[in-house]
Structure 1
Amino acid sequence: MSVGKSVRLFLAEGTPGGLLTAEIMNWTGHVLAAPRSELAGLLQRPETSRTGVYILIGDDPDSLGGSLAYIGEGDDISKRLYQHGRPEVLGGKDFWDRAIVLTSKDSNLTKAHARYLESRFITLANQANRAKLINATAPIPLTLPEADVSDMEYFIAQAKIVLPVLGVNIFRSAATVTETTSTQVSASAFQRSPLFELRIKRDGLTATSVEADGEFTVLKGSGARLVWTGADDGYLRLREKLEKDGTLLPSRDGKAMFFARDQVFASPSAAAAVVAGRNANGRVEWKVQGTAVSYGGWQNQNVEQAVGPLDS
């Protein structure tokens, strides 16, 4: 049974697009987020004068729906944010439009702790591969006492829970997938996703996927058509992005493409389109492995199992 978490959000200005804070019960960490337009207000917050780490996030103009990010640390984060808020010709950074500040409510984070967190967050962002980091280097984590390492890893684990709630997914890796031994849709499917397959019989290709942690993920090793054959639309640009960043690579015989790593998609239809090389209805074309049950049908079965048939 999974254990719930209580995340407390406070809209400091009473608006959803303004400055906000986030906390988890019994966690000494504190998260502060604000758009760049609220930088002046952000710098006046007492949290930004503490030791901690910060994340700058903006859109990647060279990637459809992609993000650019910079991760840093400081004894007084406000000074770093002020520098980054200046025009790029004056040593600042132009790309970002949102800042996230992570500090400690008890002010117990030291410079060594912040440098450890910075290094680990950079490593996690690179592993997740959800944003292009513009950090020039990835510092090696400082050697900390064993107890401090444990505390910092707990800090990171809690931050990875809070940040996606704020829409910051750059550290979020694809959820670990556990294959079920049964190929039938049963009560266990209500608790976790079965494996889904999309077969392209003409090319002898199969792609596998799973819905985990609220995201639709195509698994490493899945096949995809060699070239795009559909209309020139957003899914084509998405596929070109995946080919460019090395997620989709040609097979050894050059007759198909394959996924070099797990890839999260915004929807099952986006995943199906990239695999099939054309527009596709993912709710219909993805099937529960070993059955004729579609992804949409599996979802409907889960609803019926949960609430039972409703009277018309």
Structure 2
Amino acid sequence: DYWTEAVVFTTSNNSFGPTEISYLENRFCTLAKEANRYILKNEIEPTQGNITEEKESELEEFIDYAKIVMGALGHKLFEPLIDKPKITINVETPEELLLFLKRKSRKSGKIIEASCKRTNEGFVVLQGSHIETIDSESIPPGIKERRQKAKIDENGILQENILFHSPSYAAAFVIGGNVNGLTQWKTKDGVSLKEIENSEGN
């Protein structure tokens, strides 16, 4: 058997090592199996490896972009033959969408709880949110600077509203590291922002 076409995904700074590549291979193989459109010929079952929660969020965002590119190229490798039932969500205006993020920090051991409001300008992390005070090594420089300048008290409570232009930047500000805001921000009913935006796009 011969192949006639290859699609290669890379990073601009060659930042993925063996652990990240193993995770991506595992996830891509799983997605392809679930879609059940092609025959996989991997002789070795890829392992997911042991990665941090922050790195997992970063890689999942990479996977989302890869799926978009593959679809744009006309390859339905990761698209199921039958779509999963879509969640129908009634949101009258963007201003009415209140989102929440809650997780236990591995750095401080504290429960981080924050609220965010989607507006026409972006995503506002609301005053009173509990902010992780310890930065991760993976934190984007711009977010690190915003955290240093923000009004946060000694208990990690945000004393002002702060606007961000993307949900991932808003989430990164809260947890002090890279994170996929589309999956981390959720409504009070547990519906993710990603599910909401997918529903709004239909």
TM-score normalised according to structure 2 size: 0.49
More strand per residue: 1
Higher-Rg member (1/2): 1
Structure possessing the higher relative contact order (Cα contacts under 8 Å, 6 or more residues apart): 2
